[in-house]
Amino acid sequence: MNSLTTCLLVLAVSGGGAYATSPSSNVTINLGTAATFGVLAGSGITNVSAQTLITGNVGSSPTPAVTGLLASQVIGTLYLNPSPATAQAQADLTVAYGEAVAAPCGTNLTGQNLGGMTLIPGVYCFSSSALLTGTLTLDGQGTSNPQWIFQMGSTLTTATGSTVSLINGATNCNVFWQVGSSATIQTGNVFVGTILALTSITLDGGTLNGRALASNGAVTMAAQETIDNSGCDQCTVFVTNPTAGTVNKLVVSSSGTTQTVIATGMNSAEGIVCGPDQYLHIARSGVYGGPSEISTIDQYGWADGSIPFSQLPALASSGGPGGLAFQPITGAMFFTTTLSNGLSNTGIWGMVNHSVAQVMEPFAANGSSNGGGAVAFLSAGPYAGDLIALDIANQKVVRIAPPFTPAQAGIDFITTNLVGPGGLALNSAGNIFVSNSDGTIEQFGTDGTYLGLYANTGLHNMNIVARQNSLFVATSDGPVIWIQSNGTQTTVGSVRGGDGVAVCKVY
């Protein structure tokens, strides 16, 4: 499987985009393709133990020499020859290293031993060398995406048997060690995080839950070492099947996909979105049986409430929900309605604190049994902040501007190159993507200008979701497709009759 880096940039702050508290502003560290490597070196890799096991890609560039390591010891790709993949990973590592160096220091620990300390999320710096003897505890304090950046002007050295302990939501994916020269992790250590060393890294035998990434020098494993990068190279995708009434969970990593059904009895589960609370909110249209409602479940399938349209007079005659979106900053929910159960009052609605109001007048009638589909908020360009929605019946995208009261007529926004549109998504640059039932995915600018064909899956595309510059596509044929920014398509799972698709940060 190809790199999942672009997915990770947003999902779990696992090596792509990550943030730490500092006195001035949040800091972003973007590992790019280096995020998929367990070991990356500049001048070669040496291993002395046949019991060493590395989960994650392994390679060196520009010197590709790898000594003492077999493919059977690597769960991932072992690069033994010069490769564009290792060269790109080194280029991305250079960027990430520079970002770590530039992070504003929050606490200066120069001259202090990290052993025995308990540190909350932040940026910690040493003017020269850093030493860890004993146990360092990183306390996430139950906050969202806690992150630690350690900056060392020269070396990082740990004593034999030292440990980095994670508590209260801390994860190894969000720990970064920026080392100005070389790092030495001694025998029997349980170390965590991503080591970004300008020169070399020596691992004397122990466990590293994270990555060993050296820019210019070598990485040496001088005894049996276990390196596990699997927890960071992961993406969680949820796909609905309205006819089977299921919600499917696909945990995608470099070693493959684990697919499970987390919810059943969800007939007519069409649109699905991951809310600000990281819960799954599902538009159940009623078209394939079951109630017309918005259901909420957690990522394990446990029900967490619903909004039955039958109990809200304003919605009882509107048809069921089709697509869902949450307004940035406010977190208010907006959704389209369909023509289910023979009803004809379609449009876009908003709900804040369980108070519902129509914000867009009904879609223009054309006798179709379809109505409104996916919705999204424009994030860039001349119409940033506007709400856009698929008018499936009339094969176009409409737009409305805030404030979203009272109900207003939709403005035609995208009216070309749509053939049976089923999904709508925005990437990190604010560009707009529309999936069509003929297999095409068309790309548009922030002002609605047509930018050309983005991809063709050759399948019956349904909903799509963007993460950074990649897309995940649900198809009625079954394959769930991941499309990278370079156009590479990878099948990451199969949900026949797939309709809605969402990506959530794992909690």
Whether residues 379 and 451 share a domain: the answer is: yes
> Nearest to residue 312, comparing CAs of 279, 289, 335?
335
Q: Which of 201, 228, 255 is the last residue of a domain?
A: 228
Among 194, 228, 262, give the residue marking a domain's end: 228
CATH number of residue 426's parent domain: 2.120.10.30
Question: What average pLDDT does the structure give for the chain?
Answer: 88
Higher local confidence (pLDDT), 428 or 306: 306
For residue range 147-201, what is the model confidence (pLDDT) as tens digits? 899 999 999 999 999 999 998 878 888 899 999 999 999 999 999 999 999 999 9
pLDDT tops 80 at residue 142: no
Residue 349 has pLDDT above 70, yes or no: yes
Q: Are residues 155 and 24 in the same domain?
A: yes
CA distance 407 to 360: 5
- Tokens in use for 425? 């998504």
Q: What's the confidence (pLDDT) of residue 60?
A: 97
Query: Binning pLDDT at 50, 70 and 90, where does residue 207 land?
Result: very high
Q: Higher model confidence: residue 104 or residue 506?
A: 104
Q: Look at residue 243 in the predicted model and tell me its pLDDT.
A: 96
**What's the predicted TM-score (pTM) here?**
0.64
Mean pLDDT, residues 394-402: 95
Q: Which of 71-80, 220-229, 359-368 has the highest mean pLDDT?
A: 220-229
Domain boundary among 200, 228, 256: 228
Task: Work out the average pLDDT over 443-452.
Answer: 96
pLDDT band at 144 (very low <50, low <70, confident <90, very high): low
The reply to whether 116 and 182 lie within a common domain is yes
- Any bridge partners for residue 164, and if so which? 136
DSSP structure class, residue 242 = T
Pair 223, 247 in one domain: no
Say what the pLDDT of residue 16 is.
39
Q: What is the per-residue pLDDT across 43-55, written as a single tens digit (0 to 9) for each? A: 999 999 999 999 8
Residues 257, 217, single domain; the answer is: no
Q: Is 46 exposed, middle or buried (0-12, 13-18, 19+ CB in 10 A)?
A: middle
Q: Cα dist. 451→396, 417, 447, 455 in Å?
A: 16, 11, 11, 12
Same domain, 171 and 275: no
Going by C-alpha positions, the residue among 333, 306, 279, 301 that lies closest to residue 504 is 279
pLDDT (0 to 100) of residue 1? 34
How many domains are contained in the chain? 2
Same domain, 106 and 179: yes
- Whether the pLDDT of residue 118 is over 50: the answer is yes
In a shared domain, residues 168 and 265:
no
pLDDT single digits (tens) 410-428? 999 999 999 999 999 998 7
Contacts of 390 (CB under 8 A, 6+ apart): 323, 336, 372, 373, 374, 375, 397, 421, 422, 423, 424, 434
Residues 162 and 45 in one domain: yes
- State residue 488's pLDDT score: 84
Clarify whether residues 464 and 441 are in a common domain: yes
Q: How far apart are CA 275 and CA 262, in angstroms?
A: 17
Assess whether 389 and 404 both reside in one domain.
Answer: yes
Question: 504 pairs with which residues across the strands?
Answer: 236
Residue 9, pLDDT above cutoff 60: no
Bridge-based pairing state of the strands 156-158 and 130-132: parallel
Instruction: Say yes or no: 149 and 238 in one domain.
Output: no
Query: Does pLDDT of 235 surpass 90?
Result: no
| Range of weakest confidence among 4-8, 198-202, 272-276, 353-357 | 4-8
DSSP state letters, 359-376:
EEPPPPP-S-S--EEEEE
Cα–Cα distance, 110 to 114 (Å, whole number)? 10
The band of 227, judged by pLDDT with boundaries at 50, 70 and 90, is very high
Least confident range from 77-86, 147-156, 311-320: namely 311-320
Instruction: Summarize the confidence of residues 376-390 as an average pLDDT.
Output: 94
Domain region containing 64: 5-228
